[in-house]
Structure 1
Amino acid sequence: MSTVYNAALQRGATKKRAADDGEDRPLVQRNKQRVLVLPSRGVTTRMRHLVNDVEVLLPHAKKDSKVDSKSDMSMLNELAELNNCNNCMYFEARRHEDLYLWLSKTPNGPSAKMQVQNIHTMDELKMTGNCLKGSRHILSFDAGFDAAPHWRVMKELLTQMFAVPRTARRAKPFIDHILTFSILDNKVWFRNYQILEKDPGATAASVAKGEGKTYGKGSQEPTLVEIGPRMVLTPIRIFEGSFGGPTLFDNPEYISPTALRQAMRRKKGQEYTNRVEQSENLRVKRDKYKGREGELSRSKVFS
């Protein structure tokens, strides 16, 4: 409710300023989104490369130094305010092997916590694409984001974070790659593709002839080549406030990586216990029948 209240206050202040000016000019919607990107202490090399790749993809982002994850997370709202940012992407590392991503609309919320899995950075050899540094991109969302309320909230958060404003200072006036968000197995799959035209000269000639966006006879349709980074985001919780507050959504299918590791260790321990029990049962059975002599025993047959 605090978010709705603050938004209503801002709309009222904007209408009051327009009325005081006495002009009937239309209100221009300006996208003034700025994102603060920062990791926690304890990130590994792959995690640090992922943070750098995300910061490169967002010309309107500002990177800050590492933050102690054990401190109060409300401090991130103050850091975002000091850096003149109204969004925050916080990469939290746990146990030097688990990575969590916080998406927050500072300072009033909402916010979402997700686990990051299957990380692949831009530096890997399988990523053959390339794009202009600082160029803008197109956001592509799966139709599943409109299926449930929590997915709609997630879509709005991702749009606020990854949509590059047209007036961003470091943004180039080109669009040459696409960021896709797909839902599969209740997880968000993130991919980055370059828009590659096989024959840009034929395309420009067809446009000059007045054919519009159609392609000439000798040209080929544009293709998509993956650039990276790629990752899979598992939603954990969605909060009403920024980095906390009442829980709006709690994923019932989420299992923490610590619980998974404990289950694997418990399974290995159970397998060892079963082997020891089988060996002990075999020894007891041999001792039980060792002293008995039947009719076919060696001493009676070869006596």
Structure 2
Amino acid sequence: MGKRKHVRDTNNKDVSEGKKPKEDVILPPVVSSDEPVPRQKKWINKQRVLVLSSRGIGYRSRHLMLDLRSLLPQSKSESKMDTKDKLFVINEMCEMKNCNKCIYFEAKKKMDLYMWVANVPRGPSAKFLVENVHTMSELKMTGNCLKASRPLLSFSKEFEEDDHWKLLKELFVQTFGVPNHHPKSQPFFDHVFSFSVMDNRIWFRNYQILEEDASLAEIGPRFVLNPIRIFEGSFGGPTLYINPHYTSPNEHRRILKKTLAAKYLMKVEAKRGHEARKPTNSSYDLDPTDDFFTINPETLSATKT
């Protein structure tokens, strides 16, 4: 048998007689390290949160609002809202900002802070009294998380018991949870948002996940939410739940003033009783030997007879 002949094709390729030519292998394009890596998936769950406050808010409340904005990469900011405007105006603000969730801080009397968490525009919405506020700059914790990273949401077992806790849990998941593949978020988890129920209140904590031993280090901020009401609509509508354990700050201050007034009245009554029982003559003016040589008139008349 003779040797096979090789024929040179027009593209300078060696083609053996009786065999099919091999197909060209398409290599992926070379991407340099300076170019950004293209995203493979689209952002499907488009959740955007509008975080704003009313006028007259305190410095500590303002820092709390800024902390939440920095922790939520899907959040958007808005200028302060006038206290004379109705709350339904926030729905129009969210529509202009293309947001479907809202966190609104409402200040009253420059001492009380309320927080609204609403699903815009259909609802539901919940109103809370914010207590025991401590910001990130105030606490100076050792924990630290990367900016725009996604948090893990942790809820205590009480959120699975009653219906109003279940509703608040779903509202918190949609508001505080960072959507997957969000353009401004990082594709990893390095901190935890903790929601726990104690004394009919919701305690919020933020912890960093340490890589060494998988322990937790608190970052901040920390605050306590006292539920007031849950509404069916956004910033209003029929009431779904009323907290029977809630006491307004005005009522709490009135009880404290009444307690202090009762203590003052008790002090006044004790002082009056002390003055009434006080003897007219002082103890140092009385001498028991003064009446020793005093002659009794009855005894003197008896001796004369």
Q: Which residue of 1 aligns with 2:34?
A: none
Task: Tell me how far 1:30 sits from its aligned partner.
Answer: 3.0
**Residue 109 of structure 1 aligns to a residue in which SS?**
coil
Q: Which residue of 2 aligns with 1:48?
A: 62
Q: Which residue of 2 aligns with 1:187?
A: 201
Please say which of residues 82-91 and 275-284 is displaced more in the overlay.
275-284
AA aligned opposite 1:102: W
Equivalences, count: 248
**2:247 pairs with 1:233:** no
Please say which of residues 68-77 and 187-196 is displaced more in the overlay.
68-77
Aligned with residue 92 of structure 2, among 78, 88, 98: 78
Matches within 5 A, 1:179-258: 179-198=193-212, 221-258=213-250
For 2:116 and 2:139, the matched residues in 1 are separated by 29
For 1:300 and 1:252, the matched residues in 2 are separated by 73
For 1:140 and 1:238, the matched residues in 2 are separated by 22
**2:123 pairs with 1:133:** no
For 2:246 and 2:264, the matched residues in 1 are separated by 29
Q: Which residue of 2 aligns with 1:161?
A: 175
Provide the alpha-carbon RMSD of the alignment: 2.0
Instruction: Check conservation: 2:139, 2:220, Cα contact below 8 A.
Output: no
For 1:42 and 1:105, the matched residues in 2 are separated by 25
Map Cα deviations across residues 107-128 of structure 1 (whole Å, 9 max, x no partner).
Answer: 1110000111111111134411
Matches within 5 A, 1:102-141: 102-141=116-155
Please say which of residues 29-38 and 256-265 is displaced more in the overlay.
29-38
Task: Tell me how far 1:168 sits from its aligned partner.
Answer: 2.0
Q: Which residue of 1 aligns with 2:259?
A: 267
AA aligned opposite 1:266: K
Task: Tell me how far 1:169 sits from its aligned partner.
Answer: 2.1
Describe the shift of the 1:29–1:55 C-alpha distance in structure 2 as closer, same or farther (beyond 3 A): closer
For 1:58 and 1:283, the matched residues in 2 are separated by 66
Instruction: Check conservation: 2:43, 2:182, Cα contact below 8 A.
Output: no
Q: List gaps (5 residues or longer) in structure 1.
A: 1-27, 199-220
For 1:231 and 1:187, the matched residues in 2 are separated by 10
Q: Which residue of 2 aligns with 1:149?
A: 163
TM-score norm. by structure 1 comes to 0.77
- Sequence identity percentage: 50
Please say which of residues 244-253 and 122-131 is displaced more in the overlay.
122-131
Describe the shift of the 1:154–1:60 C-alpha distance in structure 2 as closer, same or farther (beyond 3 A): same
Q: Which residue of 1 aligns with 2:105?
A: 91
Q: Which has the higher helix share?
A: 1
Task: Tell me how far 1:37 sits from its aligned partner.
Answer: 0.2
**2:284 pairs with 1:301:** no
Q: List gaps (5 residues or longer) in structure 2.
A: 1-41, 295-305
For 1:124 and 1:33, the matched residues in 2 are separated by 30
Map Cα deviations across residues 246-278 of structure 1 (whole Å, 9 max, x no partner).
Answer: 111000011111111111111111111111122
